[in-house]
Structure 1
Amino acid sequence: MESEFPLELQSETFKVLSSNDDTAMETLFTNLYNNNNQHHQNQNRSKSLTFLQCCKHHHPDLLMIKLFYLLTSSPQIPTRTNAARALNFINPAHLWPKLRPQAQSRLQAHFIKYLTSETSIHVLRLASLILSQTISVIYQNQNQNQNHQHWKEILDFLFSSVNSNDEKLLEFSLLVFASLSQDCRLNLSKYLNDAVKVLHSSFLSSLANSTNPNVQVASFGAVVNLIQFFSEPSLFHELLRAMMVAVFSLLHGYEKSYFKTAFGELIKLVSAEPCLLKPYMSDMVLDSLQIAENNGVSNETRRLAFELVMAMTELKECDQMMMNLPYETVVRLFIVPVKTLILSVEDKLDKEEKGKGVTDGENEKVVDGDDDDVYEFGIKCLKKLCVSFEERKVVDVCYELLMKHYLDSADWKMRHAGITLLTVIAKEFSDEMVLMENFLGEMVTKILKLFQDSHVQVRLAAFTLMEMPINFVQAAQILYHHRFVHAFTIALGSDQDNKVKEQVASAMLFFLKNTLPDSLALFPNVDTLMNKLLSMIKDKGNAKQRSIALSTFNLVAQRCHEVVHKYFANYLLILLEACSDRSSEIKEEAARGIRICAEFGSPSFKPFINMILSELSNLMKDPSRSISENAKACDVAVSAIGRICECHRDSIDRSLIVPVWLSFLPLKDDLVEAKIMHDQLCLMVGRLDKDLLGPGNQNLVKIITVFLEVIEKGDKLATTQTINHINNLLRQFGQNIPPSVFETILLSLNPQQRELLLPFVSSF
């Protein structure tokens, strides 16, 4: 087997590990753990890591013995600290089984003796991890290796230390118990069962009586890790009560890091042993609320306290308890994450502002933050709470909070939090909100008021809500469509913030797409709306706002044909200019607008034909059309040419333009326009359009090829009706075209196309 590391390095590592001189190991530690002179240090650290990995791979026994020796024998605390860090890095559980029994016995004896003499609590904390891993591998393997030596002496030492007055040894033993692996705990059960009462008493004393926060926190870990030994109700009850008292003691008495670690163990306990905790969970919810509602705690502490509730929402065992919580408690539960939104919204907005103008990779870091994003945590909590309670209770709570506290608050952050709460709840319980008496109407009134809010972020959130594809929004749009059209129109002309104006246009476009086609006919002032949209389109300061406005105008033009006639000249010139815009979205919508004008435009379209054809031709020949975004704009331009061929043929050189249009088919990038054009092709073929077929039907092969490509894609490029029409046309070709002609056609197709066509030709 080929060596993983060079022989020269193997020899060097053996020499260092076998030597009585510890200088080389001291240098190794310096390179690994000294942070001075970063650039030079990184090079040395890399070499030292390679050296250590070579030792572990080729001389594991010598490495283990050397590091244990430095840990237990060096007079220097930094050396003992670094030896302990290196042992944890290489993982003693991997190396211990590779030692000979004599070496294991020697190390065991030295280690116990060392523990009683170590003066540094920091070193002992590191050593606790080493010992827990070593004990774990010893007792984990005892059933696999009957000759394996147990280490009963260390268990006796730990039981003695956990009752010791020496706080260093007490904390050390608790840390060891807190880190034992699950397999080890199972195999240790016969030893620990005999000492359950002793451990229970010791852990209880450490939690309730110790004035040392490090001891208290270590006892949390030990209790949680060995909780299976304390499942007897009276034992568990006493420990849990002591833990809750200690948590509040740590919260008020010491720096937050102690509380964070201890409470983290409680959260772990909830997830690991929900059945044991079931009788106490409602009280734990109230305790978590008491912490989270405390104005004197930090956002991090409030979040941590609520993590306990979130852990419960994910457990089946907690379902009934959550459902049975009193209404007042549910209200309090929802207020906590909403308060988080209020307190963190400015930080969120600052992050978004700082994220502007940086590269995409950097923007993800700045805007999205990391797992500690407080605002996003508030949103996540609201979503989880929604899942935990029945619909009616959540909607009732939402109604009370929104109507009494948030949407009419003088503080913009509370109004913003209110609209965010409404958005989250509406995603989950739209149907219940729509059916609840007066809820929809009252919320619509509040939302319309927020459209004109004094704070830009509140307006932005309100318009964003109205773009959500949920039943609540759709019901509001249908039942109160006249109020929304009026409100959108006012906002388009009055809002001075470009981002809000863009969101208004986007929300209005969403509204128009999801309401009945004749809804605009009921709107008492379309001219006002069109003028404001044209004003937005002419404003070249915001490309995205110019694209949404074009889309909206196009949609209105499709539904209100008279609009095209009234605004034709002004609008068409804007569209022609937009065809050469740098934005692919704007070019796409400009071409779509021309297609709509071609469909519904008046005879005044004729004077612009040459300009239109020129701009569309440039779009279709755009060298960047291979890019998917520009490819869609090209498809829409082809569609516009198609409509001109269909509706304004007398104004063009049809014998030239129609074949050019055909040459760009089938369309494959803009699927909406593809279905329109392929249907038009069927209609033209069905009426034996001479300009399309060409002299002597010379374009028939191209037409059949387009049909076959469309069929091959299924319903992606055409509606079911169009595909059926294509099949019928191909069947007619097969019946009416002479076999000799069809044979020529078949030879011009590729094998896959021939296979698709043959079933339509009876003579073959």
Structure 2
Amino acid sequence: MEPKFPLELQSETFRILSSNDDTAMEILFSHLYDPQQNQNQSQALTFLQCCKHHHPDLLMIKLFFLLTSSPEIPTRTNAARALLSVQPAELWPKLRPQAQSRLQAHFINYLTEETSIHVLRLASTILSQTVSVIYKSQQHWNEIIDFLLSSVNSNDEKLIEFSLLVFSSLSNDCRLSLAKSLNGRVRLLHSSFLASLTSRNPTVQVAAFAAVVNLISLFSDNQLFHEVLRAMMVAVFALLHGFERSHFKSAFAELVKLVSAEPVLLKPYMSDMVLDALQIAENCGVTEETRRLAFELVLAMAELKESEQVMASLSHEMVVRLFIVPMKTLVLYVKDDGNGNGADCAADRKMEDPEKEKVDGAYEFGIKCLKKLCVAFGETKVVGVVYELLTNYYLDSTDWKMRLAGITLLSEIAKDFSDEMVMKDNFLEEIVFRILKLFQDSHVQVRLAAFTLMEMPIIFVQTAQLLYHHRFVHAFSAALGSDGDNKVKEQAASAMLYFLKNTLPESLLLYQNADNLMNKMLSSIQDKGNAKQRRIVLSAFNIVSQRCHEVAHKYFANYLPILLEACTDKNSEIKEEAARGIRICAEFGTPNFKPFINMILSALSNLLKDRNASNSENATSDVAVSALGRICEFHRDSIDVTTAVPAWLSFLPLKDDLAEAKIMHEQLCSMVARLDTALLGAGNQNLTKIIAVFLEVIEKGDKLATEETITQMKSLLRQLAQNIPSNTFETILLSLSAQQRELLLPFLSSF
């Protein structure tokens, strides 16, 4: 949609653009570019847009006149900035041919007289856009091409830099036309570019890099390309080691661009370029930014299909050196937090200082490099290199930062190459041995990272825990009992919980380290660390209790008081695990359970009061219902079943904790099948509730119960329909909702 400007503003813009008085334009420039006039900037921009929309030809002529004729450098600078903001490529076609010819002639004369290099740099962009739009419209401007060729070959450094900047910004259409119009002058341009690349003026060198890359298609001849590429590499090292190192960044960025633009031309030189970039990145005297930029060249080549053969042919030693570069970055940007509360890498730390963004960016770049190198070299070569790095340099290093970087490398490589790592001779055993050693490392962050690694859901970790589970259980137990850092204890507990959830049930018994583990976990729970550590360890203790109940039951006398206290915790997750522990003790802790029965029922009653308060509390109360159900099943001699069982039934079906729901709904089936009198109630008064629960569970499919339980429920409904007196069943039907009666109908129609 075209912008609308008031007629008054249109008239005002026409008056100013047509006037010989330039005062109004000077004021406009001050509003646009003077920081002290920011309050007027919006109005000035509106004025400029109105000029562009309604009087584009007058605007182009006015700004061009000020650029080429004003005696004041600030005015010429501002006129160039304004021209660029309104985009000369859009204004040029609006000019009449006669006006275009006058501006073209005047421009060339102006360029020979301009004294300010700053203005010339702005003018170079204006000219390149103008030349590009001229050639795009199938027109020509041979005079400017001649002028540029003459300037780049002159002794005037200002004009050399100017012409190079114009060449560096020409559009593709213009480059194609330029190639046709050079008529044998390619070698002249080539020689001029070579001379500029060896200039002592670093700004000329950088401009030459950009010009060469933009016009590289002109030098596709093998000899010309070889010479220009060699000159670029020599120049970039000169910029790196010279006093003008700040220019290296711009020049090298052009090399990276060249790799993506002309991979076929560069293919014969890629091995040498990798080595050159590696030498820069390995240089201890360069900044991290320079090291990162040098490695960008390697990554650019690594991502190219044309470079696959080149990368595959690199020696093992070269690949090792390539991996060491990003590893140095990881080591450099790891900070000692001093109190063990830091994460395992710089990117995870909660830093407050201004360097955070720099640190995080460098760390992320290091990780990106590792990932891209993995893709470039493939799993077989990478795993061999990583094995060498981990065993010879990092995991056994005396520097904790090196050890931490080693764990980071292992974590990243294992995400994609676990299969190869597991199958490689000695890899798994050697690395597991070192990981177990790092569990007891002298530095908190290393221990933390080692335990974090063992919680990763990857094949390498799962295989290590399967083959060396007895060692890991022992190591987890030791960490729970001896580590002085709460953050490490928490992570060790979390890694242990992950291990327990994924290990085979009989593994703990097979090796009876279960006793040692349960002692350490019980001690850890009693220490009352932070809330998260208390929840994780409770969960782990519950898993071991479930799987090793023959061993666990003797600990229940000490465990139950802890669970009762945890039932009153403010943290809903802790209360949920406490209720689950009570449910497990109810199943397997018969000798020790009876003395606590009244306190347990009271604690469960309090948990059930919170039902429907929130989703988190519902999950907790579901587990509490499950615990009550197990008490009704296994401890009838210690409770009043006539009140406890109906109370349990009233909370069914369970819907939030699906695992507990399946346990309880299976138990309900079992009790109905044996015609449990406490469940059915006097005169079968609870039968309506039982049928309603069955129907709701069946309707949800296998979400709330196993397929076997659902099948049994359907069978029981048919038996009830067949065996209950008709008048009793009619009363039950009247008590059900219309939807429930509809669900029950298929089970009645069979008889």
- Using structure 1 for the length normalisation, give the TM-score: 0.87
User: Which of 162, 168, 193 is 2:152 aligned to?
Assistant: 162
Alpha-carbon separation, structure 1, partners of 2:76 and 2:209 = 27
Is the 2:341–2:487 Cα contact (8 Å) retained in structure 1?
Answer: no
Aligned to 2:544: 556
Within the candidate set 349, 367, 389, 1:379 is matched to 367
Amino acid aligned to 2:82: A
Asked whether 1:237 is paired with 2:217, we answer no
Check if 1:287 corresponds to 2:276: yes
Distance (Å, rounded) in 2 between the aligned partners of 1:19 and 1:733: 103
User: Structure 1 pair 623/598, CA: closer, same or farther in 2 (3 Å)?
Assistant: closer
Choose 4-13 or 70-79, whichever is displaced more. Answer: 4-13
- The aligned residue for residue 577 of structure 1 is 565
> Where does the alignment leave 5 or more consecutive residues of structure 2 unmatched?
none
CA, structure 1 residues 241+579, in 2 after alignment: closer, same or farther (shift >3 Å)? same
Instruction: Please give the root-mean-square deviation of Cα atoms over the aligned residues, in Å.
Output: 3.6
TM-superposed deviation, 1:501:
1.4
The offset of 1:92, in angstroms, is 2.8
Secondary structure in structure 2 of the residue aligned to 1:517: coil
Q: How does 1:3-14 map to 2 (within 5 A)?
A: 4-5=4-5, 10=10, 13-14=13-14
Alignment of 1:97-496 (within 5 A): 97-142=93-138, 149-192=139-182, 194-207=184-197, 209-346=198-335, 369=357, 373-496=361-484
Q: Amino acid of the residue matched to residue 132 of structure 2?
A: S
**d(CA) in 2 for partners of 1:347 and 1:161?**
56
Aligned-pair CA distance for 1:102: 4.2
Partner of 1:592: 580
Q: CA deviation at 1:340?
A: 1.7
Q: Secondary structure at the match of 1:139?
A: helix
Counterpart pick for 1:514 among 502, 505, 520 = 502
Q: Percent identity?
A: 71
Equivalent residue for 2:660, pick from 673, 680, 690: 673
SS in 1 for 2:333: helix
Q: What SS does the aligned partner of 2:700 have?
A: helix
Deviates more, 1:540-549 or 1:308-317: 540-549
Worse-matched range after superposition: 611-620 or 740-749: 740-749
> Following the alignment from structure 1 to structure 2, what is the Cα–Cα distance between the partners of residues 247 and 404?
34
Q: After superposition, what is the alpha-carbon deviation per residue over 1:522-578, rounded to whole angstroms, capped at 9, x for unaligned?
A: 445544432332333234442222221111111111111145422223322222322
**Amino acid of the structure 2 residue aligned with 1:489:** S
Counterpart in the other structure of 1:601: 589
* Cα separation, 2, equivalents of 1:55 and 1:760: 83
Query: Structure 2 counterpart of 1:82, which letter?
Result: N
Q: Which has the larger radius of gyration?
A: 2
| Cα distance in 2 for residues equivalent to 1:742 and 1:192 | 100
More deviation in 91-100 or 122-131? Answer: 91-100
Query: Per-residue displacement from partner, 1:496-545 (whole Å, max 9, x unpaired)?
Result: 11211111111111222222112222445544432332333234442222
Amino acid at match of 2:83: L
Query: In the TM superposition, what is the alpha-carbon distance from 1:91 to its structure 2 partner?
Result: 2.8
Per-residue deviation, 1:250:
0.8
1:73–1:743 Cα change, 3 Å: farther
Deviation sequence 1:325-362 (CA, Å, 0-9, x none): 11111111111111222222128999996999xxx999
Partner residue in 2 for 1:644: 631
Query: Distance in 2 between the 1:17 and 1:653 partners?
Result: 100
Asked if 2 retains the 8 angstrom alpha-carbon contact of 1:348 and 1:375, the reply is no
**Other-structure match for 2:69:** 73
What SS does the corresponding residue of 1:176 show, helix, strand or coil?
helix
- In the alignment, the residues of structure 1 paired with residue 174 and residue 403 of structure 2 have an alpha-carbon distance, to the nearest angstrom, of 54
The answer (yes or no) to whether the contact 2:121–2:162 under 8 Å persists in 1 is: yes
Query: In structure 2, what residue type is equivalent to 1:112?
Result: I
Helix, strand or coil: the match of 2:506?
helix
Task: Tell me: CA distance 1:502–1:353, structure 2 relative to 1, closer, same or farther (3 Å).
Answer: closer
Residues 418 and 458, structure 2, Cα contact 8 Å, conserved in 1: yes
Q: Are the aligned partners of 2:473 and 2:496 in contact in 1 as well (CA < 8 Å)? A: yes
Matches of 2:500 and 2:638 in 1, distance apart?
33
Using a 3 Å threshold, how does the CA distance of structure 1 residues 722 and 230 change in structure 2: closer, same or farther? farther
2: CA distance, partners of 1:59 / 1:720: 79
Contact 2:611/2:617 (<8 A) preserved: no
CA contact (8 A) 1:351 1:366 kept: no
Q: Residues of 1 paired with 2:77 and 2:242: CA distance?
A: 30
Residue 616 of structure 2 is aligned to residue 632 of structure 1: no
8 Å CA contact retained: 1:352, 1:366: no
Are residues 274 and 22 of structure 1, via their aligned partners in 2, closer, same or farther at CA, if it must alter by over 3 Å? same
Q: Normalising by structure 2, report the TM-score.
A: 0.88
1:57, CA displacement in angstroms? 4.4
**Which amino acid is 1:707 matched to?**
V
Q: Tell me if structure 2 keeps the 8 A contact 1:625–1:634.
A: no
SS of structure 2 residue aligned to 1:373: helix
TM superposition shift of 1:129 = 2.0
Tell me, yes or no, if the aligned pair for 1:509 and 1:551 is still in contact at 8 Å: yes
Deviations 1:293-344 (A, max 9, x none): 1111111111111111111221111111111111111111111111222222
Aligned residues: 743
Distance 1:558-1:167 versus aligned 2 partners, 3 A rule: same
Q: Which amino acid aligns with 1:164?
A: S
Contact kept? 2:168, 2:213, Cα under 8 Å: yes
CA distance in structure 2 between the aligned counterparts of 1:757 and 1:56, rounded to whole angstroms = 78
Q: Please state how far the C-alpha of 1:246 moved relative to its aligned partner.
A: 0.8
Query: Which moves more between the two structures, 638-647 or 364-373?
Result: 364-373
SS at structure 1 position matched to 2:252: helix
Residue 355 of structure 1 contacts residue 367 of structure 1 at CA under 8 Å; is this kept in 2?
Answer: no
Q: Relative to 1, partners in 2 of residues 1:652 and 1:86: Cα closer, same or farther, differing over 3 Å?
A: farther
Matched residue of 1:346: which SS?
coil
Moved more, 673-682 or 516-525: 673-682
- What CA deviation, in whole Å up to 9, does each residue of 1:612-649 have, x standing for no partner? 344344444438843x5444334433433343344345
* Amino acid paired to 1:464: T
Tell me, in whole angstroms, the C-alpha distance in 1 between the residues paired with 2:18 and 2:282. Answer: 61
Secondary structure of the structure 1 residue equivalent to 2:153: coil
How has the CA–CA distance of structure 1 residues 746 and 23 changed in structure 2, closer, same or farther, with 3 Å as cutoff? Answer: farther
Supply the AA of the counterpart residue of 2:518: M
CA distance in 2, matches of 1:730, 1:42: 81
Name the aligned partner's letter for residue 63 of structure 2: L
- Match of residue 748 from structure 1: 738
Shift of 1:483: 1.7
Give, in whole Å, the separation in 2 of the partners of 1:540 and 1:15.
Answer: 82
Evaluate the alpha carbon distance shift between residue 249 and residue 620 of structure 1 in structure 2; reply closer, same or farther with a 3 A threshold. farther
**Partner AA of 1:204 in structure 2:** L
Shift of 1:140: 2.7
